[in-house]
């Protein structure tokens, strides 16, 4: 089920939002965020809502609603679903007016909630992409901007042509940035848990930050540093963090099978316990 709040009303289905001349349609001025409701638990919801406001500002837009107002709408919408529903929460801010520069005060807002069952903890395959993440001097990499996802889908299409589910994408200097769709973690042969240090080429995700903190509290330190692609070839575990699946293991990388390891399993366990408590 799709449920969208737009122009003061809730509607079911794929609700039309745009006009042919809306700035977002032809010049790409839209941002969104993704949060989760898992059986009524909405961990870190306000952080996601704060980020959509920030993302809008980075594109010259202005979110018409405050965090409090968006949170109230989210909770109102979630209550319209069954209590055990697993939902994706997507606030969207988009430009409606302007020639090249969007008119910030005419930014529009829509909130969509839809059924999105949590994926099973069974894993995915990935390869190394030839594509690169842009840096902050090339694109609005500090925003969750819809326009950035064209490069994401290019990497995914190329990976699927090679028989993989996802792709590892590097930054412009050739260091590992993230998976095409989520942040990346790996465990070295020496047992060190590593994730690329944020360098302006990818969003340091909210789930990423939460998992790092939860692992630290459990006595597992995550090292944030520059990562060379070849390091993944000897990793004993690789996994991702992101809003859709929270923590998901990579079970095959460039033709090499990998286990669902203890660090990924612990990260998933800790995150789900945190979610259930919030």
The architecture of the domain spanning 124-276 is Alpha-Beta Barrel (3.20)
User: What are the start and end residues of each CATH 3.30.470.10 domain in the chain?
Assistant: 2-115
* pTM, two decimal places: 0.96
Q: What is the DSSP letter of 50?
A: H
User: What are the start and end residues of each CATH 3.20.10.10 domain in the chain?
Assistant: 124-276
The Cα-based distances of 135 to 28, 42, 121, 243 in angstroms read: 18, 31, 32, 22
What class does CATH assign to 2-115?
alpha beta
Maximum C-alpha span of the chain: 56
The Cα-based distances of 150 to 59, 67, 198 in angstroms read: 17, 28, 21
What is the Cα gyration radius of the chain? 19
For the chain, 278 residues long, give each residue's pLDDT as a single digit of tens.
Answer: 899 999 999 999 999 999 999 999 999 999 999 999 999 999 999 999 999 999 999 999 999 999 999 999 999 999 999 999 999 999 999 999 999 999 999 999 999 999 999 999 999 999 999 999 999 999 999 999 999 999 999 999 999 999 999 999 999 999 999 999 999 999 999 999 999 999 999 999 999 999 999 999 999 999 999 999 999 999 999 999 999 999 999 999 999 999 999 999 999 999 999 999 99
Q: Concatenated DSSP letters for 95-146?
A: --S-SSS--GGG-EEEEEEEE-PPPPTT-EEEEEEEEE---TTTS-TTS-BG
φ, ψ for residue 123, nearest 5 deg: 105, 170
Instruction: Judge contact between 55 and 31, C-beta under 8 A.
Output: yes
H/E stretch holding 149:
helix 149-161
């Amino acid at each position: 089920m799709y449920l969208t709040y737009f122009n003061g009303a809730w509607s079911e289905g794929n609700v039309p939002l745009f006009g042919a001349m809306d700035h977002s349609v032809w010049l790409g001025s839209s941002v969104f965020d993704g949060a989760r409701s898992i059986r009524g638990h909405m961990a870190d919801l306000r952080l996601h809502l704060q980020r959509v406001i920030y993302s809008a500002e980075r594109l010259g837009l202005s979110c018409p609603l405050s965090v409090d107002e968006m949170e109230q709408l989210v909770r109102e919408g979630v209550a319209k679903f069954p209590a055990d529903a697993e939902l994706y929460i997507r606030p969207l801010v988009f430009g409606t007016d302007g020639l090249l520069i969007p008119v910030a005060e005419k930014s529009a807002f829509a909130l969509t909630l839809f059924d999105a069952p949590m994926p099973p903890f069974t894993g995915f395959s990935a390869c190394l992409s030839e594509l690169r993440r842009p840096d902050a001097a090339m694109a609005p990499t500090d925003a969750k901007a819809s326009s950035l996802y064209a490069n994401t889908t290019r990497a995914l299409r190329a990976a699927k042509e090679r028989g993989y589910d996802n792709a590892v994408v590097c930054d412009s200097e050739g260091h590992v940035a993230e998976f095409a769709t989520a942040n990346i973690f790996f465990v070295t042969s020496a047992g060190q848990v590593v994730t690329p240090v944020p360098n302006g080429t990818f969003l340091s995700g909210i789930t990423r930050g939460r998992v790092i903190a939860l692992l630290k509290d459990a006595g597992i330190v995550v090292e944030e540093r520059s990562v060379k692609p070849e390091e993944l070839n000897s990793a004993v575990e690789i996994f991702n963090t992101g809003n859709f699946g929270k923590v998901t293991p990579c079970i095959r990388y460039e033709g090499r099978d990998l286990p669902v390891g203890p660090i990924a399993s612990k990260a998933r366990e800790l995150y789900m316990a945190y979610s259930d408590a919030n």
